[in-house]
């Protein structure tokens, strides 16, 4: 059985028909699937679009790898393989208040625990920060560390020196790998239209990707009633982000050293805050988070046997242990046919 919807691609003149395969899929809105670009589609001429663009206009989201296809009249549709649960088994016992597992290719939820309950996202906010920065700056753009950096970016830091200059390329890596608050603030304050516009762009991104329970008030992830999300929304944001090749490459890096452009040149080194990246086979990213109110968060991408899933745990005292349990559970209980 297939359910059909119509929508117009953001750029171009293609009329796209999205055909979604229904097995035992937990309800997932079409608008979310369309926004993250999960399904690649060809029109009658077989002129297949290679990428789709998000509403920010500068982040190009590639389609997924070649998928099984079926033809409906003049339209060729690539259908993602949807995971199938092997059998009914007990749920994993995790400490996290909220959690969700999403199949990356089909955007199918495979597990959830209170996944729509609002949570403080802490430094997982920086996924949105990075996407806005990638859409705002070229890698060669040189940004100046602001004079109020120490006052405005306390906590996790790359120890940036006020007045120093670094490329946007390096700052985005310090942001995602080392969770550097000073890199986040530097990226936001250097926006051509100012800090507030940068944060506004983060909220535009949340709206464009249909994160209905998410809002951002700062690029760092400081706790605020206006900086809020859910495990489910964070999983969809991550699926979207991992379609951006540069983002995917950055979050897979265990270490990074940035160099300033001023003389004498300074260097800033960070190590990934995601310990699973180097201790669990198949983990490819993505982002950690912690504040006293948020407790521990961990967003993980992992690929085994050619199948990649996104795991989000939020408000957890044992985020790594919870994630390990969910990794074992999902690959033991689902098959991709």
Q: Which residues pair with 75 in a beta bridge?
A: 72
Of residues 52, 98, 126, 316, which has the active-site annotation?
126
Cα distance between residue 283 and residue 72, in whole Å: 37
* Known catalytic membership, residue 179: yes
Q: In Å, what is the CA distance from 109 to each residue of 27, 173, 198?
A: 8, 29, 31
Candidate from 8-12, 65-69, 131-135, 226-230 with smallest mean pLDDT: 8-12
Q: In Å, what is the CA distance from 257 to each residue of 65, 170, 177, 268?
A: 32, 8, 10, 5
pLDDT level of residue 76 (50, 70, 90 thresholds): low
Higher pLDDT, 34 or 17: 34
Q: Report the run of H or E that residue 100 belongs to, with start and end.
A: strand 98-103
Across the range 190-212, mean pLDDT stands at 97
Residue 15: pLDDT above 60? no
Residue 211 backbone dihedrals phi, psi, to 5 degrees: -90, 90
Of residues 135, 156, 179, 301, which has the active-site annotation?
179
3-state secondary structure of 22: coil
Higher pLDDT, 156 or 4: 156
Name the percent of the chain lying above pLDDT 70.
Answer: 77
Pair 328, 111: CB distance under 8 Å: no
Express each pLDDT in 231-281 by its tens digit. Answer: 999 999 999 999 999 999 999 999 999 999 998 899 999 999 999 999 999
Residue 80: pLDDT above 80? no
What local confidence, expressed as pLDDT, does residue 68 receive?
Answer: 45
3-state secondary structure of 242: coil
Across the range 127-148, mean pLDDT stands at 97
Pair 270, 256: CB distance under 8 Å: yes
Residue 197: pLDDT above 80? yes
* Known catalytic membership, residue 153: no
Express each pLDDT in 98-128 by its tens digit. Answer: 999 999 998 899 999 999 999 999 999 999 9
Name the percent of the chain lying above pLDDT 90.
Answer: 69
Residue 8: pLDDT above 60? no
pLDDT level of residue 81 (50, 70, 90 thresholds): confident
Q: What domains are defined for the chain? A: 2-83 (no CATH), 122-336 (3.40.710.10)
Express each pLDDT in 203-221 by its tens digit. Answer: 999 999 999 999 999 999 9
What local confidence, expressed as pLDDT, does residue 30 receive?
Answer: 39
What local confidence, expressed as pLDDT, does residue 77 receive?
Answer: 55
Q: In Å, what is the CA distance from 309 to each residue of 20, 236, 304?
A: 19, 11, 9
* Known catalytic membership, residue 200: no
Of residues 98, 106, 115, 123, which has the active-site annotation?
123
Residue 281 known to bind ligand: no
What local confidence, expressed as pLDDT, does residue 263 receive?
Answer: 85
Average pLDDT along the chain = 82
């Amino acid at each position: 059985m297939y359910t059909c919807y119509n929508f117009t691609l953001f750029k171009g003149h293609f009329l796209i028909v999205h055909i979604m395969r229904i097995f035992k899929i937990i309800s997932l809105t079409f608008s979310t699937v369309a926004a993250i670009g999960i399904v690649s589609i060809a029109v009658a001429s077989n002129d297949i679009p290679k990428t789709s663009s998000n509403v920010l206009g500068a982040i190009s989201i590639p389609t997924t790898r070649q998928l099984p296809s079926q033809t409906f009249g003049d339209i060729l549709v690539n259908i993602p393989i949807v995971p199938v649960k092997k059998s009914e088994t007990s749920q994993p016992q995790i400490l996290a208040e909220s959690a969700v597992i999403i199949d990356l290719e089909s955007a199918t939820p495979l597990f959830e625990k209170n996944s729509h309950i609002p949570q403080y996202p802490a430094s997982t906010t920086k996924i949105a920060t990075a996407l806005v920065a990638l859409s705002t700056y070229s890698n060669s753009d040189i940004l100046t560390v602001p004079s109020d950096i120490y006052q405005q970016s306390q906590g996790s830091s790359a120890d940036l020196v006020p007045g120093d200059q670094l490329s946007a390329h390096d700052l985005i890596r310090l942001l995602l790998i080392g969770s550097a608050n000073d890199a986040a603030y530097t990226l936001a304050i250097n926006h051509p239209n100012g800090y507030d516009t940068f944060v506004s762009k983060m909220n535009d991104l949340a709206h464009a990707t249909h994160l209905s329970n998410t809002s951002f008030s700062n690029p760092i992830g400081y706790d605020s009633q206006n900086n809020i999300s859910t495990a489910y929304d964070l999983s969809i944001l991550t699926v979207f982000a991992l379609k951006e090749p540069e983002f995917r490459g950055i979050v897979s890096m265990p270490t990074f050293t940035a160099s300033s452009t001023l003389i004498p040149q300074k260097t800033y080194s960070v190590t990934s805050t995601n310990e699973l990246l180097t201790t669990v086979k198949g983990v490819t990213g993505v982002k950690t988070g912690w504040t006293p109110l948020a407790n521990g968060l961990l967003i993980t991408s992992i690929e085994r046997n050619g199948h990649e899933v996104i795991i989000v745990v939020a408000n957890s005292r044992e985020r790594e242990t919870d994630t390990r349990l969910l990794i074992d559970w999902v690959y033991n209980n689902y098959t991709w046919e």
